Structure 1
């Protein structure tokens, strides 16, 4: 008999053993305790965010749903990042994942989640209402960039020093710097180090003459976050990262709304690309559109206009911009456009929607889309 439930206190070791086994059989060996310490580190009581399918008391499938909160200009939206999606190799085809995802989605809707994030294959997760969306800018650097461009930037000696989890004063300072960003995920001092150590990332202090000037974290070839008190240190900080790791090249991820950072790297990167992020499902379009349209309005003037969208079986949504004022609320008007949930994520939140859009489309008349949806890899599970 199959029993579907949430994880209970004391079950995390069993959950951890299960997902390690499944992912190690499917891909390379995995150790989620070190890969995701924010979820599976020592003394982490995170059983509650796991959905389990059990046969005769033994776990046969797992889905993890970890809530996170995005904040901008005093406004917040609650998101859910989905991960550790796994089914025992001998139990596939029994519908376990379909049932667990149905449970998770129902809970997310009841809990008022605005949007959900799930990495994985596009058409596999379209069945659950997810579609690729969001994007980040990926800047590639190599040693030649720093050597040939050195004369254009001030030579500011910086030291990158590996941070320690036990240095609570330092970690608290990093958390303060991060929380000062215009758009950020709400993180506690207690969770900050483990979040920045996710996905194989290492956290370093950026020091100028012995004083903390920011932090940088990532893997050898990919910088996930670089937060600086002074953006004039950008060239020197990335040069120091390149020297520290001695890597042939590395990538810096930049959010599409971080105009200052985009301008800062423009003179010395090697190559640039736009990377679509993960699969998204939007539960509350009104909140999501208002939140990310407000972010976009700070970077470029928005076209005045009004659009009415019918998405799935929801009430028609009227989106309007008038002299900078943004509204997104239900209305009784006939919709300008009727979309499925998958189509809505693609057209409103994916950079792919910029290409091939028909000139007759109502979306063509405004500069609102795609919305600058972007979530740090370190906050995902």
Structure 2
């Protein structure tokens, strides 16, 4: 008889062993913020245990408070969806996913994950969000950044610099949107998914940091204290990395970084960022419309709908964004999949729904080290 329950503290190693066996990864090094040797993450796991107490499957949820333009959203990242090879096809994942979503429904605004699209669409997730990816090569730097003075710029492991934790925490919390990162855990967080944290120094003084992959040719997070140092740091890093071409990811709402990269990059693509399951449409809509209003800009207008049973009317005028938990009599009625497709995807433009131009998709974005 299989029991579905929360993991107990003494099952930490069993949770990690199951994840390692199912995925063929070393989760202690892949995800040290959750599975590091001194981190007890057992409480994040809901498990399926057989009559002998052996774990057959598990699903974990990592709480990630999100601030968007001074609005706090209760979000979490769902991951480590693991089923023992000998227990596959027995329905454990379905039970655990539905149990978790039932637990989260009244306490969170949104659940995030990354996984195979159709598999998680069955549980109400939609692939969406907005992620820009720029490609910068040698010719781009030589011509477009020929006047950028990178003299004095150097790089070193971030946490070898005194005060790096408080510096990185300050940059993160100064953003228009950010996941809460525990200062004491930053060295572990910054190593998520085998990423490396490099401090950017100017004459020995810390001016920013880069989160890069093991090969050094992909920057998943480009953070400068002063925007004037963006061009200089790109030029210096291109030389430092010795990569033929580097790719740089950015959120749509990082105006200074997108402005610089848009003027020099050889090419760029717009990608989805994650899969999202919105539980409170009003809270998510208010936060991210406000983010657009304060960054890329947004046309004034009104939109009213009933989204997954939740009545909402959003308005944008010169003073900002308001969202009411009521709908107009002629409001469009959307099920969950339709509502999330409208709010989260580029395909909203093809839907037969009248909405102010440019409102959607909302610019949801997760930095790589905040994933789980």
TM-score between the two structures when normalised by the length of structure 1: 0.92
Deviation of the 1:184 alpha carbon: 1.4
Cα distance in structure 1, aligned partners of 2:55 and 2:313? 45
1:279 maps to 275
Deviation of the 1:285 alpha carbon: 0.2
Q: Does 2:287 correspond to 1:295?
A: no
| Counterpart contact for 1:349–1:370, Cα < 8 Å | yes
Which runs of 5 or more residues in structure 1 are unaligned? 25-29
| Counterpart contact for 1:171–1:189, Cα < 8 Å | yes
Alignment of structure 1 residues 196-211 onto 2, 5 Å: 196-211=190-205
Deviation of the 1:300 alpha carbon: 4.2
Deviation of the 1:308 alpha carbon: 1.6
Q: Secondary structure at the match of 1:280?
A: strand
Q: Does 2:76 correspond to 1:80?
A: yes
2:232 maps to 236
Find 1:41's aligned residue among 23, 36, 60: 36
Cα distance in structure 2, aligned partners of 1:275 and 1:77? 23
1:254 maps to 250
Residues 41-85 of structure 1: CA deviation (Å, up to 9, x unaligned): 111121111111111211111111101011133221111111111
1:27 maps to none
2:47 maps to 52
1:176 maps to 170
Q: Secondary structure at the match of 1:256?
A: coil
Alignment of structure 1 residues 226-375 onto 2, 5 Å: 226-312=222-308, 314-331=309-326, 333-354=328-349, 356-358=350-352, 361-363=353-355, 365-375=356-366
| Counterpart contact for 2:293–2:320, Cα < 8 Å | no
Cα distance in structure 1, aligned partners of 2:296 and 2:252? 12
**RMSD, matched Cα:** 1.8
Q: Secondary structure at the match of 1:10?
A: helix
Cα distance in structure 1, aligned partners of 2:145 and 2:132? 23
TM-score between the two structures when normalised by the length of structure 2: 0.94
Q: Does 2:125 correspond to 1:130?
A: yes
Q: Which moved more, 1:167-176 or 1:303-312?
A: 167-176
| Counterpart contact for 1:276–1:351, Cα < 8 Å | no
Deviation of the 1:357 alpha carbon: 4.3
Residues 341-376 of structure 1: CA deviation (Å, up to 9, x unaligned): 11211111113324x345xx312x443211111121
Q: Secondary structure at the match of 1:15?
A: helix
Cα distance in structure 1, aligned partners of 2:295 and 2:319? 12
Cα distance in structure 1, aligned partners of 2:162 and 2:15? 29
1:5 maps to 5
| Counterpart contact for 2:130–2:362, Cα < 8 Å | no
1:20 maps to 20
Alpha-carbon spacing, 1:301–1:278, altered in 2? closer, same or farther (3 Å): closer
2:370 maps to 379
| Counterpart contact for 2:48–2:55, Cα < 8 Å | yes
| Counterpart contact for 1:80–1:108, Cα < 8 Å | no
Deviation of the 1:235 alpha carbon: 2.2
1:107 maps to 103
Q: Secondary structure at the match of 1:43?
A: coil
Runs of 4+ in 1 over 3 A off after TM superposition: none
Q: How many residues align?
A: 369
Q: Secondary structure at the match of 2:159?
A: coil
Cα distance in structure 2, aligned partners of 1:178 and 1:96? 38
Alpha-carbon spacing, 1:168–1:274, altered in 2? closer, same or farther (3 Å): same
Alignment of structure 1 residues 113-124 onto 2, 5 Å: 113-124=108-119
Residues 6-59 of structure 1: CA deviation (Å, up to 9, x unaligned): 1211321111111011101xxxxx111111111111111211111111112111
Which runs of 5 or more residues in structure 2 are unaligned? none
| Counterpart contact for 1:336–1:362, Cα < 8 Å | no
Deviation of the 1:301 alpha carbon: 4.2
Q: Which moved more, 1:203-212 or 1:214-223?
A: 214-223
| Counterpart contact for 1:297–1:324, Cα < 8 Å | no
